[in-house]
Structure formats: structure tokens, C-alpha cells
Amino acid sequence: MPKPEAVAVSDTPESAPGPLDAARIEEYRGYLMRYALLQLRDRTAAEDAVQETLLAALQTGTRFAGRSSVKTWLTGILKHKIIDHLRRQLRELPLEGRPEQADAGEADVADAVFAEDGHWRDFPVDWNAPDRSFESGEFWKVFEMCVQVMSARPARVFVMREILELSTEEICKELGISATNCWVLLHRARLTLRECLDTKWFKT
């Protein structure tokens, strides 16, 4: 596994970098916790991942130029901790070959969305410049909620693909699932998330 890239900058006096101390790093705990919780779906595991991240960050003692680079750097470390946790969780619960582990509701997403003749039951309408929603804190609450209520397996693969920005090859390798299974899970996740944002945000 590649090490997260440090984005340390040593020669920007105007931002008065100073060493990263515990107090400074603490400021990021809330952000990191939210990030980890969405992906691990388990408070204890998320707390562990964040704690490990903050400890690792403190141990390096690298100097940083500005806030955004500290955040990028911490998020980079956290991503690796999250993947470690996911891998451990999944070793205990293999994704493939145990279809009975699929949550109720996971398999029939497509049946809920499409009629028997393959038509949309509810036609997707134009969301009309949806990226304007990014400025709304409420939108992000709905987004988090929609990811959290998704079935566990599609949600996990979706988060690895779209939030951690892993390739499907990497996801297959990390989770030990086939590429086909991965694509199908991603499609289910997207259908579910689309539906949720549509009803809980864009149509309200």
C-alpha cells in the first residue's frame, strides 16, 4: 500500500506554520470523524481509525503551510486507515459466495425502480443545475443520510469508488470480489442514492 503523500511545505513564512501539535490536530477530529463514520458505519471503528490517524500525524511532526494542506494530508492518512479497517471487517464477512448476507432490499432495488417491461416506474426528471445544492448545509445532511440508509454492501463499494476514489480493480482486490459483482453493486448503490436524493431533496 502506498504511503499517503505528505504535502509539507517548509518555506511559506506568511502562514506561520509551526509544528503540528496535539491541539492543532484536534481541530480536525470532527471533520475526520464524520468522514470515517460515513464509510465505516460503525462508531467504534470510526473512532479507532480517527485516533490512529491523529497519532500517526503527531508522530511525523511535519511542518505545514496552511489549513487546507493539513486537512488534505490528514484525510490521506485516514483513507488508508479506513481501507485497513474495511479489509479487516470484510475478512470476517466475505462479500462473495454468501448471497444470504445481502440485505433485504438490496437485490430488488432495480425491481422497485423499473416496471416489468423495463421502463422507469418514475421517470428521472432534470435536476436543473444540481451543483447549486453544494452550497447548502442541508443538502449535505440529506446526502449523508441517503448514504447511511443504503444497504451495507452497495454503500461500502460506492464509498470506496466515489468518495475514496479507488478504481474498481483496487476495490475488487481489497474486498476480494469479482469485477462483475463490483459493477452490479455500484449500479444498485447509484440507483438507490439517486432515488433518495430525488425524493428527499430535489423534489421537496
Partner 1 sequence: MVQDVKIIPTCKEASELLSYAQDRPLTLREKFALYVHLPICNACRNFRKQLAFLRQAAREYARRD
Cβ closer to partner 1: 59 or 119?
A: 119
| Residue 109 near residue 192, CB atoms below 8 Å | yes
Give the nearer residue to partner 1 in terms of CB position, either 5 or 92.
5
Question: Which residues lie near partner 1 (CB under 8 A)?
Answer: 31, 35, 71, 75, 110, 113-114, 117-120, 123-127, 130-131, 133-134, 140, 143-144, 158-159, 161-165, 168, 179-180, 182-184, 186-187, 190-191, 193-194, 197-198
C-beta of 42: minimal distance to partner 1 in Å? Answer: 19
- Residues 6+ away with beta carbon under 8 Å from 29: 50, 54
Which is closer to partner 1, CB of 26 or CB of 91?
Answer: 26
Nearer to partner 1 (CB atom), residue 87 or residue 187: 187
CA distance linking residue 124 with residue 191, whole number of Å = 11
Q: Which CA distances in Å does 153 have to 100, 104, 147?
A: 12, 11, 11
The torsion angles phi and psi of 106, rounded to 5 degrees, stand at -70, -50
Least separation in angstroms between CB 114 and partner 1: 4
Show the cell assigned to 146: 441517503
